Amino acid sequence: MKITLPSEDSIRLEPTDGPMNIEALSAEQSYSPFHMVAGGLAYCTWSVLASWASHAKLDVGELTVDVKWSFADDPHRVGSYEVRFNWPSLPATRLEAAKRVSEMCTVHATLNHPPTITIDGTVGKR
């Protein structure tokens, strides 16, 4: 797999041979926490589609997933994600099913139904 950072507010995941790689378009661009969350969403989406495709005997070799986000204020946070997959070999008759399958990603469900987060801390020596 390869994650590419086309911009400060988007990522692209595409299948490649070998280990996971993360590539920026320039040396000045950093892999931010926002890219990390979007990468998890993209990888999860790709994985559920690939699992479904294996049962349906569909090829995922050209399947890419793009995630773009925009910010909201009060509080400053990601306000929305847009997940878009491109699957040239997918029959058009399977597109709606693939969209429904992509919503089965657990990261998608987590973001739609946010967990409770607790923060704790200590001071001094352990």
pLDDT 10s digits, 71-107: 999 899 999 999 999 999 999 999 999 999 999 999 9
Query: What pLDDT is recorded for position 125?
Result: 84
The SS3 assignment for 43 reads helix
* N- to C-terminal Cα separation, the chain: 40
- Strand pairing report for 10-14 and 21-24: unpaired
Q: How confident is the model at residue 57 (pLDDT cuts 50, 70, 90)?
A: very high
Regarding the domain delimited by 2-112, which CATH topology (the fold level of the hierarchy) does it fall under?
Answer: GMP Synthetase; Chain A, domain 3 (3.30.300)
Residue extents of the structural domains in the chain: 2-112
Q: What is the pLDDT of residues 15-50, one digit of tens each?
A: 999 999 999 989 899 999 999 999 999 999 999 999
Q: Which residues contact 15 (CB under 8 A, 6 or more apart)?
A: 1, 2, 46, 60, 61, 63, 64
Give yes or no for residue 126 having a pLDDT over 80: no
User: CA-based angle 84:30:25, to the nearest 5?
Assistant: 65
pTM over 0.85: yes
The SS3 assignment for 99 reads helix
> What span, in angstroms and rounded, lies between the C-alpha atoms of 81 and 68?
6
